[in-house]
Chain A
Amino acid sequence: MDQNKISSLWELSSSGRRAVRVPASDVPKAELDEKLARKVEPELPEVSELDLIRHYTRLSTLNYSIDTRFYPLGSCTMKYNPRLNEQTARMAGFAASHPYAPESLVQGNLELLYELQNGLSELAGFKATSLQPAAGAHGELAGVLMIKKYHVSRGDKGRTRFLIPDSAHGTNPASVAMGGFEAVELPSDGRGNIDLSKLKELCDESIAGIMITNPNTLGLFEEQIIEVIETVHACGGLVYGDGANLNAIMGVVKPGELGFDVMHYNLHKTFSTPHGGGGPGAGPVGAADSLKDFLPGPIVVVSEDDPDSYTLAKPEKSIGRLKGFNGNFGVLVRAYTYFLSLGGNGLRDASESAVLGANYLMSKVKDILPPWYDRICMHEFVSSGQNLAEGVHTMDLAKRLIDYGFHPPTVYFPLIVPEALMVEPTETESLEILDAFADTLRIIVKESQENPQLLHDAPHREMVSRLDEVMAVKKPVLRDILRL
């Protein structure tokens, strides 16, 4: 057996081998109607526990992660995931608690949720928060449906359109469409803000609302945010905040005070809960007075008859449930742990340091990778690979970074910046790392002029180089080949 080859579970498999022994039955065997019984056994692997540990440990070494590398993935916020959060989420009273246990026997859970709801509301300036949505996009859907129900509840039924800036995350228009609205694209102006004059043109009685990411996906704070919000409110629309970038402004400004009606928090980004190769996340939604009664439920409230006890309740005009049970509770425990650890002052420090780090890095590479908008940025900045050497693309630069041991930044997003390169260092990366990254970018830009092929063929040292994504669609192989 080739010790360097990464095998599949089925290649490691041998008939009759096993990792777990199931206890012998202590009850009589029951009849099962032959009609309902399975005829062909599922081809699950048959491996030992050591096989498994080796298999997954080897696989793990093929991943870049925050624990192993700098991961400046703009708009995704890859910051350090404290181990304390993992320990608390695994405490038996949390992990082995059941959502249908009587409320009197899960007061610890309810108190935690209550405190987190209130803490988030205070941090972002909202009246109430629901912790139910399982991800940012899930929170977006909640907000869109809340706005829909708000208009309908007032008998205002002609509002069929939702404004979305052209710099928006792809989830924004998709969420609006799931809510049954038409997405109307709003252009950006020359400074990367929402084009205010165009906004004024588009605002009429057909507008249900606007979905704004602020700071936006260009890493810029909307300079005319108050005018934007006032304009939408003036036509009867409401304002949804995609809180994906709250990481930049915690304790520095409260979106609720700026006039946002509803906003989600990406706890898996902002509150240091791990991404886990794609989730789980948590996307609580905070609402102002205008929408607090429409929040998805249940949420935690203090009992009317006992101020020391908590109970679950559905807000008065709730859009309903978005998820079974009580949201991604385990993620919420991690977020609450982080919230207590940092406190109000620490959260503000985190934002300030994230913004400081991004501006430092931007200024260090300004001459080789000029920012698309030459302004102070928030926690991330967007450059363009347009002025790389002839024939060299942003993707080539990104892939070459892998050879130097860095995870590539986000590329080709936002869509309005050609050859976009979006860098977010986060507050947990040291000055030395930021310097090393800037130096490496400088080396690669030089390489791109002297030996562009080096970039085209990158990465050179990983188990695989660039994979054929066209073939993946044309000749789909979506499961391991079995029974051959």
Chain B
Amino acid sequence: MSYIPHTESDRLKMLEQIGLETVEELFQDIPESCRYPELNIPDGLPEMVVKKRLKDLSDRNQSSDDALWFLGGGLYRHFVPSVVDAVLSRGEFFTAYTPYQPEVSQGTLQALFEFQTMIAELYGMEVVNASHYDGAAAMAEAALMALRCKSGRKEIVLDEGIHPEYIEVMETYLAGSDALMRKGRPDDNSACFITANPAFTGEIRDLKALAEECHGVGALFIVHADPLACGLLESPGVCGADIVTGEGQPLGIPMSYGGPSLGLFATTKKLIRKMPGRVVGRTMDAGGRAGCVLTFSAREQHIRREKATSNICSNQGLMALAAAVYMAAMGKQGIRETARLIYDKTAYASLTLGQLEGFSVDQGSSCFREFILSCPSPAADIADALQKKGIFPGLALSRFEASEYRSAYRENDLLVCVTEMNSKDEIDRLAKALTAAAKGNM
């Protein structure tokens, strides 16, 4: 199939206007030896056939909708109110471009402005930008920003409990700089200290204590904070964060095998000129009417070229819209209640599963959404056995190889994820299934 409207007579008319005989002549600047190569790609297919093919592929995947689901590890199954996709599906939003012409982009601009406001409220921060690629890229950009803010300091210090894939992404991003990444505590060589709340393994951090330690040695305090958890936990801003990053996927975005998701990024007014990414601001037109524009673009690549704060250009505008609609739909009460449900269910699950014979949970602090369940045998084996039955008990942490940036995970560790979507009954069923699996009865 094709989406080209031109008829044969249109083509002839166009060629005549240009003064050419054939379409091929339009490509005369291309070296002849390379022009019109052999193309080993099958011909196009009708819509009906394409749809069938995609449906067949889709059906060969496990959907989280059709399973007992406790698998997380950075991307989560959360409830998405119907209104979110209804808004996203409006062509006026999803088929618009980056709002460079503000007069004809007030819809996108106001939506992003409201997105910034809501994230600022959750994070307790002054400035939020309108979206990075994902949580990992946002954290990497935050590390680069810290290097700009603290010239002379080369160290990026990581707390325990940073997502292993985020560390890999940061390693890639930092390959272009002379920065050094290490784990441990910050000192006066450190540009920043990065922690995650909750940590990758679910523990809730005492951010205030970490902020004091960090500021005591003059390093920036960067918190990777879960936006939903902020409905319940003290905001990173109140605790003293200089930069907050996050993964916005829990805010109304489907898992989609890992993307697109949404990188959240917030900072203080003081640091705005060092911040990467797009920002929307409110201003006035000549008639005194309020409107929004992309602003502080003097930091950006289209003006500053190689001196820009980042090369980020296309980002995740539509995902920011999804997060905005989600936050507005849940509202003040909904976010708090959802965060509370997740916290309570996580506690119930860790208590229930930790009491099973041969299993234990030894995380001292309280956890949000995830916790490590120590199993009596390799977690991967238990997960494998259960997954064949449509039960996804969690993430076997042995999939992550040991790294110099974090302690190794134990072979028997299973990262169990509980969200508002999991009922008490489901948790109890998981308990039974784990017991059976441990006894080799699956």
Contacts and interface: CB of A to CB of B under 8 A. Distances in A.
Q: Which of A76, A88, A283 is most buried by chain B, counting CB atoms within 10 A of its CB?
A: A88
A330 B340 CA distance: 30
B4 A431 contact: no
Interface residues of B, number: 205
B318 A274 contact: yes
Interface in A394-433: 398-399, 402, 407-408, 413, 427-431
B387 interface: yes
Contact of B312 (A84, A137, A427): A137
A449 B154 CA distance: 58
Interface stretch (A233-241, A385-393, A440-448, A473-481): A473-481
B192 interface: no
Contacts of B166: 324
A122 B55 CA distance: 24
B315 A279 contact: yes
Given A66-B95, A249-B30, A32 B232 contact: yes
A270 B343 CA distance: 44
A173 B304 CA distance: 9
A420 B99 CA distance: 19
**Which of B10, B59, B335, B425 is most buried by chain A, counting CB atoms within 10 A of its CB?**
B10
A346 B114 contact: no
Interface in B356-400: 366, 384, 387, 392, 395, 399
Interface string A14-42: 00111111110111111111011111111
A171 B172 contact: no
Contacts of B74: 324-325
B159 interface: no
Residue in B4, B27, B307 with the greatest tally of chain A CB atoms within 10 Å? B4
A53 B325 CA distance: 9
Contacts of A73: 97
Interface stretch (A196-204, A219-227, A284-292): A219-227
Contacts of B83: 19, 49, 52-53
A325 B75 CA distance: 9
Give the secondary structure class of A's interface: loop
Contact of A44 (B283, B302, B332): B332
A220 B26 CA distance: 11
Contacts of A466: 103, 285-286
Contacts of A220: 29
A60 to B, nearest CB: 4
A20 B29 contact: no
B336 interface: yes
Given A135-B314, A337-B50, A344 B234 contact: no
Given A20-B329, A355-B27, A119 B4 contact: no
Contacts of B312: 135, 137
Contacts of A106: 60-62, 257
A225 B34 CA distance: 11
Given A38-B234, A65-B95, A360-B17, A176 B306 contact: yes
A467 B102 contact: yes
Given A65-B92, A135-B315, A326-B258, A36 B233 contact: yes
Given A60-B90, A61-B107, A78-B97, A276 B26 contact: no
B301 A346 contact: no
Contacts of A333: 54
Interface in B405-440: 420, 423-425, 427
Contacts of B355: none
Contact of A353 (B6, B272, B340): B6
Contacts of A10: 117
A107 B86 CA distance: 30
A318 to B, nearest CB: 9
A477 B117 CA distance: 10
Interface in B161-206: 163, 165-166, 168-169, 171-173, 175-178, 204, 206
Given A53-B86, A107-B61, A465 B44 contact: no
B157 interface: no
B40 to A, nearest CB: 5
A236 to B, nearest CB: 20
Interface in B301-345: 301-308, 310-321, 325, 327-338, 340-341, 343-345
A56 B260 contact: no
B234 A324 contact: no
Looking at A37, A64, A135, A402, which has the most chain B CB atoms within 10 Å of its CB?
Answer: A64
A272 B3 contact: yes
Nearest to A120: B41
Contacts of A252: 27, 30, 35-36
A236 B226 CA distance: 46
Nearest to A136: B314
Contact of A344 (B17, B43, B230, B231): B43
Contacts of B173: 141, 178, 322
Contacts of B14: 356-357, 359-360, 431
Given A80-B3, A258-B31, 17 more contacts: A22-B338, A23-B420, A37-B233, A41-B336, A60-B87, A63-B93, A64-B101, A93-B57, A138-B133, A145-B172, A252-B30, A276-B93, A325-B165, A329-B258, A329-B260, A337-B50, A463-B289
Q: Nearest 4 A-B pairs (CB), nearest first?
A: A325-B258, A276-B318, A278-B317, A67-B91
7 contacts: A36-B206, A37-B232, A60-B92, A64-B101, A88-B55, A466-B103, A476-B295
